[in-house]
Structure 1
């Protein structure tokens, strides 16, 4: 099953009823999104060997919260949504959507917020980005979206991505439509922006027991049944791994067919789990999965490859 986003006024009544039963797509809820992430990162840092890096990520998330509300986005996406609904393409496709200079203004404000909190290499990276031209910044953003990590150093990637993520999350929250589940492929990519997940979350509450993949860019979540590999959609060779007991709030779902894994975070076992923070804090599980011969099918915005 694939997910298509269509304008609200084009939805049929039957589509609306289906969407109410199992929402195929959850657009980002921006209120306190980054402050919750920052708080979770700081909490997890207390007893984690990667505590310093988690606190660094918390500084970035806190700055994102401030910049998000200091720079609201006003944009009419209806024409774009109508155009992409006809083709089934993600409306905010990172490979085709022209980038507005708004994202660079976000980056500039992020740098100003973060500089007083940073030292060493992180501060040097911010100062280098501050001096970069608009064209150079666009080149770095394009390299990230193309997975051309040789063109952008890993010390700059989290800052560029942080600004791009705010921009894409703001756009996603403005989409004037709803999603409809259809037959199709490529469920491993976000139906809003075509990026990849950071992790998956098994929800509690109104979506109790349902697994949603959380986008590492636009912060949307899309539904994928738990009995299928989220990467290749095969069902025959799935296994679940954890570093604790069977009641662990974080597990890795591995697929023997495609050789990849994706983490599952269980809200019912820990309501405070947060996709980016808990994925970053559980890198020891990633090391175990790599030892077992599996590769990540996801990407954390604080773990970009590169020099």
Structure 2
């Protein structure tokens, strides 16, 4: 099954009440994420990093409130959707406007004022981005997006160092989330390609959320770039579609709210977050606070198939 993005007027009920795609709400979630990170940091071995990530999420929230998506950019989403229903906001083809760089400037300004951003490494990354011109920032962004899609990165678009990449991604993710939240569309499930990548922007998920309440048991993958969620049936590998080689791992007991779904066919895993076990879960924050489970999966020689937007993988050295 694949998911196509279609205008809202073409909404289909899918299978029962299951929505194939859930676009992110215009009310940005960064404040809740920041609060959850602060809570998880209490007594945590990674408290310093979780609190740093909370400050970054606070900066994203403030920047989003100060700089909403311009009306003219929101207006062109309808035409784009009609021309390109398959991954309409694909990061390889979407023409980034100057708005993403305005978001980056706003983010850098707010981060520079926060006490936890005063370390030498962060100050160096902030300075690199503040001093870079628009062309250099765009080149870095292009290389970063390509690398995280696992596309080839040319010499002309060298990857930035890790700290610069992390701050760039915070702005790019905010930009794509604003775009996705304004997309006048819904999802339509059709027979076709697997659902490994986000049907809106083409990026890998961060993890899967097994929902509670009225949608108890439904599994949605959450995109690492635009934060859309798309439905994938459970007991299926989110990387290769295998149903025969799945194992579930956790650090507590079988009722743990966070588990890793490992697949011995493709030798990958992705973490699943169970809302019924913990109603306070925030996927990105709880994923970051459960890296001990990632270490256990690496010990099993399984590679992570997802990306956390608050801790990017090593992507190679700059030129």
**TM-score category, normalised to shorter length:** over 0.9
Question: Residues of 2 paired with 1:158 and 1:41: CA distance?
Answer: 17
2:59 equivalent to 1:63: yes
Structure 2 residue aligned with 1:49, among 22, 42, 45?
45
- Counterpart for residue 93 of structure 1: 90
Q: Deviations over 1:12-61 (max 9, x none)?
A: xxx53327610010000142500010011111111211111111111110
Question: Residues of 2 paired with 1:67 and 1:186: CA distance?
Answer: 35
- Counterpart for residue 276 of structure 1: 284
Which deviates more from structure 2 when the two are superposed, residues 95-104 or residues 119-128?
Answer: 119-128
CA 41–21 in structure 1, closer or farther in 2 if over 3 Å, else same:
same
- Counterpart for residue 129 of structure 1: 129
Question: Residues of 2 paired with 1:219 and 1:263: CA distance?
Answer: 16
Q: How far is the alpha carbon of 1:303 from its aligned partner?
A: 2.0
Q: How far is the alpha carbon of 1:214 from its aligned partner?
A: 0.6
Structure 2 residue aligned with 1:187, among 192, 195, 209?
195
Structure 1 residue aligned with 2:106, among 98, 104, 109?
109
Q: How far is the alpha carbon of 1:96 from its aligned partner?
A: 0.9
Structure 2 residue aligned with 1:177, among 155, 176, 185?
185
- Counterpart for residue 150 of structure 2: none
SS in 1 for 2:261: strand
Instruction: Structure 1: state its 5+ residue gaps.
Output: none
Q: 1:19–1:180: 8 Å Cα contact kept in structure 2?
A: no
Question: Residues of 1 paired with 2:238 and 2:181: CA distance?
Answer: 24
Q: How far is the alpha carbon of 1:206 from its aligned partner?
A: 2.6
Report the TM-score when normalising by structure 1: 0.94
Which deviates more from structure 2 when the two are superposed, residues 277-286 or residues 143-152?
Answer: 143-152
Q: How far is the alpha carbon of 1:157 from its aligned partner?
A: 1.5
Structure 1's consecutive aligned runs of 4 or more residues displaced over 2 angstroms after TM superposition are: 15-20
SS in 2 for 1:258: coil
Report the TM-score when normalising by structure 2: 0.91
Once superposed, what is the RMSD of the aligned Cα atoms?
1.4
- Counterpart for residue 165 of structure 1: 173
SS in 2 for 1:16: coil
